[in-house]
Amino acid sequence: MYTKYRPYPAVTMEKRAWADNTADVAPVWASTDLRDGNQALKNPMDIPRKVAYFQALVDFGFKEIEIAYPSASQTEFDFCRTLIEDGMIPDDVTVGVLVPAIERHIVRSFEALRGAKRIIFHLYNPTAANQRDVVFRRTEEAIIGLAVQGVAWVRREAERFGGEVVFEYSPESFSQTELPFALAVSNAVIDAWGPTPQSPMILNLPNTLEAGSPNIYADRIEWMGERIAQRESVVISVHPHNDRGCAVASAELAVLAGAQRVEGTMLGNGERAGNADLVTMAFNYYAQGVDPRLNVGKVDDVLSRITAIIGTEVAERHPYVGAMIYSAFSGTHQDAIKKGMEHRRANNTHTWEVPYLAIDPADIGRAYKDAVRINSQSGKGGVAYVLKACYGIEVPASEQTALADAVKKRSEARGGEIGADEVRAIYEQMAQRAEANSWNAAQYARHAGFVSALALPVVELLSPREGERILDLGCGEGSLAVEIQKRGADVVAVDLNADMVESARAKGIDAYVMSATRLPFERRFDAVFSNAVLHWVTEPRTAVRQIRRALKPGGRFVAEFGGHGNAAQVVEAMRMVFERHPEFGPFENPWYFPTGAEYRALLESEGFRVASAELIARPTPVDDIAHWLDLFANGIVAHLESAQLSCFKQEVRTRLEPTLYTASEGWHVDYVRLKVKAVKENL
């Protein structure tokens, strides 16, 4: 079996320059899609499809386009005529045709091109030993004679042709041709055509059947380049096929070896295993900071047009352009991408250095959010990235592992990918479970009407104006949102509690269930308003970032919530009752009550200009401290049994009665509010 095939002959080189060269300049690209690509299709294109394909190639930036083998069929001929007669060839684009060394084919091909301003007339004849002996049954001299005769026919017709003719010659099957013979035939053709440095010809050295490794192709190109006649009047071109899967590598090494021009096709479409894929190759230059001389930013548009025309698809894993190319499922890769992107943003880096991403997906219009996709292989970094990229949600580091575990479980149980919306739903559910307090809208309305009634001055501080878009963050049952709306503003309200949101909606408010640390809004609001909510948010920096993000530049943030010392006596009484009853477990204070200075510093560090951040002592009447505990402290005692709960309430009540209750005025809670007004700076 192993004697059936022979090793591809290596080239003996005294010195080899290409291995030390670097790819500093992209070659001239020549698309052969409409000829070589077309001849690979089961259903070759008709004229309208060819026209559409031609236009896509022009839009991608090709300046040399081989459009046909005009003598092959009437369609090929008519396509040439259509492009020329309908004036579809831009002035900076040169069209080419492929023609065998047969007189009537040469005559007909010139006929097809009549009227074109500038053409590449590409003559070819096979030169390999096997072709000479078996297909043509001619000696070496006769094959050279055929080529030289072909040149004479081309010269004669070129002289009659009105436009400029760039002559191209291919010793077809160069890859299987002995180098001395390839050189002999090429030099005979160069001599017969007589190119000059001002009017050079193209010598195309095809890897017609790719049978050797790219380094040998490079050796062959360098070998030829060193020896051909009139090197300064010849543009060396390559035409690599992909039979060994190395066409792009062959083309790149050939360029290092002196090739100045590369023929190939979009996505490598072509006979057998195809041609050199010029999309990949152009991006290979681009990704090294070399001008690719093609409109790579338009690639998705161009490829969607081309694949629709020829009825193919871009493979998911195709380099640079596959749908999955900029997506990572695996946890450690996701983590590295997330950190790389964050580092880039934080440092405003210009050069691209994000692990696992060859180029910036945005360069070709792909979204960053697709860079990370979630399944059972994913980790915390990836899951956090998805929520940040898709919804602007910052998952606190403390919650990331639990979230990733929940997502992984879901993916393993169900199989397959977990979409961003599903990750978000899992996160919301976790947040609701983790919410310290539970809320009941009816009870709230009955016993906590004071919360909104006392907040009207905060609405005044907000001073909503007609037509402004205002976010009410933590709207509760919606009374303040109604007040703001009455002043002509357009209000969107959010609250973590579905019962409250329901109640706000019943008042005609556009309300949603949403956490203050997971707002999806970006530059949407003229103002963000919040009353009696932010002391419940245990990730204050995350909330401030979300608020800033939701605001338009210059937008204001007006809020009131519990500040340093708020309900201090109540908190202390609860703590002491817990201390007296070790069976209740540790007392956990759920609230964030900052000082004015602390909150001001937080806002300023997140890009706000703070107009005021003041603590205001406001003893607040409540109907009964027991109701207050039921409403606002139920999270602290959620784990207690009912007898323990009664005991807790009774003991807290007894402790507070001497200071917070009077017979004439009833119960007052020692509220201290932090009232804030700040403006989003235009950073």
Ligand X SMILES: CC(=O)SCCNC(=O)CCNC(=O)[C@H](O)C(C)(C)COP(=O)(O)OP(=O)(O)OC[C@H]1O[C@@H](n2cnc3c(N)ncnc32)[C@H](O)[C@@H]1OP(=O)(O)O
CA distances from 606 to 609, 610, 636 (A): 9, 11, 31
Q: According to CB under 6 A, which one of 27, 100, 206, 274 is a site residue for ligand KIV? A: 206
DSSP string, 429-487: HHHHHH-SS---HHHHHHH-HHHHHTTHHHHHHH---TT-EEEEET-TTSHHHHHHHHT
First vs last Cα of the chain: how many Å apart?
Answer: 71
Binding partner of 474, given ligand X, ligand KIV, none, CB within 5-8 angstroms per partner class = none
Q: Site for ligand X (CB under 6 A): which residue of 40, 61, 63, 136? A: 136
Q: Which residue has the tokens 């060396």?
A: 236
CB of 127 to ligand KIV, least distance (A): 10
For ligand KIV, the binding residue among 241, 447, 653, 677 (CB under 6 A) is: 241
- If one asks whether residue 38 binds ligand KIV (CB under 6 A), the answer comes out as no
Residue 96 makes contact with ligand KIV by CB under 6 A: no
149 binds ligand X (CB under 6 A): no
From 19, 25, 135, 597, residue interacting with ligand X (rule: CB under 6 A): 135
Question: Nearest distance from residue 107's CB to ligand KIV, in Å?
Answer: 19
Nearer to ligand KIV, 234 or 296 (CB): 234
Strands (E), 9-54: 28-31
Sheet of 490-495: strand order equals 510-513, 490-495, 469-473, 525-531, 551-562, 672-680, 608-617
Q: Say how many CA atoms lie within 13 Å of 41 toward its Cβ.
A: 17
The kind and range of the H/E element at 286 are: helix 278-286
CB of 120 to ligand KIV, least distance (A): 12
Judged by CB under 6 A, the residue of 21, 39, 330, 569 near ligand X is 39
> How many CB atoms sit inside 10 A of residue 663's CB?
5
Nearer CB in complex with ligand KIV: 170/517: 170
Plot region of 294 (φ>0 → left; ψ -120 to 50 → alpha; else → beta): beta
Q: How far is the CB of 294 from ligand X (least distance, A)?
A: 23
Question: Is 121 near ligand KIV (CB under 6 A)?
Answer: no
β-bridge mates for residue 678, sequence order: 557, 610
Kindly tell me which residue out of 30, 33, 34, 36 binds ligand KIV, with binding defined by CB under 6 A. Answer: 36
Tokens at residue 139, please? 């000696």
Q: 278 is written with which tokens?
A: 């010029």
Least distance to ligand X, CB of residue 319, Å: 25
- Shortest Å distance, C-beta 115 to ligand KIV: 25
Nearer CB in complex with ligand KIV: 128/640: 128
The stretch among 98-106, 217-225, 446-454, 501-509 that binds ligand X (CB under 6 A) is 98-106
Say which entry of ligand X, ligand KIV, none residue 241 contacts (CB below 5 to 8 A, set by partner kind).
ligand KIV
Among 51, 58, 72, 306, the residue binding ligand X under the rule CB under 6 A is: 72
Using DSSP's 3-state secondary structure scheme, residue 648 falls into: helix
What is the rounded CA–CA span in Å between residue 512 and residue 524?
15
Contact between 202 and 167 (Cβ < 8 Å):
yes
Interface contacts to ligand KIV, rule CB under 6 A: 36, 98, 124, 170, 172, 204, 206, 208, 239, 241
Binding site for ligand X (CB under 6 A): 36, 39, 69, 71-72, 98, 100-102, 124-125, 135-136, 172, 208
